[in-house]
Chains A and B, each alone.
Chain A
């Protein structure tokens, strides 16, 4: 008689324990303050998401959550062919388009039944989206500087906190490493670079005033004193201004179409022929500045620039190791260095 009673008590204990666990799980809501200072609350980590924030798409991939994405906005879809994610996960090219962030198709979003929408929009837009669809929406807006919170916020919403910590830790470690190595370069010995951005329809004189990757690489932007600069940091130089600055290196975005600027356009330009870096053939490709900011690329490009500018400090070995490590943790691609280099040829 004792045994059955014991087993009964044991089963009862297990059941009551498991009930308590469930109760705890139910209580453990996810609460994240988004970029519009709104409190986004989820009962459990989102499993199906619609990404309407071009700046969040790469982050979602880096958090190993790309399979959760069931829909994207029109702008993010437009960027896909240029993004590395379309190579690692070609299925994203078939993701349904839910419309523009400013005019989403609410009914279509409802029909996809996501648990969460990541929206690049302000409080009003996020509130409207929630009201119209009844689906939680988190405002994800890019802010200046190294915004590592984008990983922790999205990580918390998707139940990918551990991966978010790993990516942030990698980025900070690699950032600290390059900064430490380059600390020996004095201010007067810093090199300078001029970057031609591709979103200019053959204009070779549209550049960026400053770049996080260049700064991290200890390279000055040659256009740092440009006057005609918009809030996005794009600067339009006059040809005279171009001749006054004397960059050590010229970079241009990787061409992506027949209309893109090519190395021949740069070499054959009448004004740029007077620039020493062009004369000496110090013209290199860089990854596109027309794409939304991706910190994996910011840090990887910093190693690339630094290897060109200070090869004795950021040696080929250090550079290769950094690229391999960054892309393995960030994008899950092992030994990416060769493909990276090939893309820059």
Chain B
């Protein structure tokens, strides 16, 4: 059960998210002009703004949730959904599809296949060397470097147009999203939330150390594999729809902790909501700052997340004093 204090904080974040999402739909990048013809207004709301806001909410939530899970199971506050090489594998998959120009292999599908492949690779290697937090991170870094180098290599031989497409894809974009994408992600997210809630007690034990969790009857390795697969699924699907959006998965759990939310269940839910909130705000910024140009969302999340994290660190330091 969530404590009263946590419930209040989570509800506050939830209502703030709902408010910001409505503001995003009706006010940004321009206030919806209700004096124009109704069909046009409805088209703008339902074909452009709603899909974009919905995908921001679902992708942000997916990244926030997987960030929180990763930080707990890897016992590392620097872990994020992209720590284990998922982003570089998906970027490589997308780049390969763009360069190969095969009709049936669209970048989104290829990105998904490669990111899931990177997880299989990670699990295969760690099944030999051991599935401790340390080895998972080290092997993840190796996979990350491997796919980054492979990506650099294929871009070296790509056409300028292909390089431009790859760069664009990796910068992330919410503009082309459709409502169906959000609905699929919402289903995956609901299942992932339910599963992670089921494991929340065990996550609390893992948070206190592997040995302690094992002594209390937790099958740490099995749960780690299940939760890693869950994170990879969430991240892979998000990346395949909108490209690489960094920082959300890293910063959302930190903001939750700075709001003094520490119990695993509350941390997972609040990270999810904060991830969604951050991405909706980033989306508003990306489409407003130099209107009508839409800035790459991946860059905006970093520019927004970095000062936010530093500010919260500064606040928490003040509190500790």
Binding site for B on A (CB under 8 A): 74, 96-100, 102-108, 110, 124, 128, 131-132, 134, 230-232, 234
Contact = CB atoms under 8 A, between A and B. Distances in A.
Interface of B: 29-30, 40, 43-44, 47-49, 106, 157-162, 165, 168-169, 173, 175-176, 178, 287, 291-294, 296
B105 to A, nearest CB: 13
A134 B177 CA distance: 16
A97 B158 CA distance: 28
Contacts of B168: 100, 102-103
A128 B173 CA distance: 14
Contacts of A132: 47-48, 176
A124 B165 CA distance: 14
A98 B161 CA distance: 19
A107 B32 CA distance: 11
A99 B173 CA distance: 13
B294 A110 contact: no
A293 to B, nearest CB: 13
A107 B293 CA distance: 11
A68 to B, nearest CB: 20
Contact of B40 (A96, A99, A110, A131): A110
B98 to A, nearest CB: 11
Contacts of B291: 105, 108
A231 B160 CA distance: 9
Contact of B44 (A96, A98, A103, A110): A110
A105 B293 contact: yes
B48 A232 contact: no
B160 A106 contact: no
Contacts of B294: 99-100, 103-105
Nearest to A98: B292
18 contacts: A96-B292, A97-B293, A99-B293, A102-B165, A103-B296, A105-B294, A106-B47, A107-B30, A108-B291, A110-B43, A124-B106, A128-B176, A131-B47, A131-B178, A132-B47, A132-B176, A134-B47, A230-B158
A35 B64 CA distance: 41
A291 to B, nearest CB: 13
A104 B175 contact: yes
A107 B173 contact: no
B151 to A, nearest CB: 17
Contact of B173 (A96, A102, A108, A231): A102
A102 B293 CA distance: 12
Q: Top 8 A-B pairs ranked by shortest CB distance?
A: A108-B292, A231-B159, A105-B292, A102-B168, A103-B173, A232-B159, A106-B48, A103-B175
Given A97-B293, A99-B293, A134 B160 contact: no
Contacts of B159: 230-232
Contacts of B40: 110
A230 B169 CA distance: 21
A232 B160 CA distance: 7
A100 B297 CA distance: 13
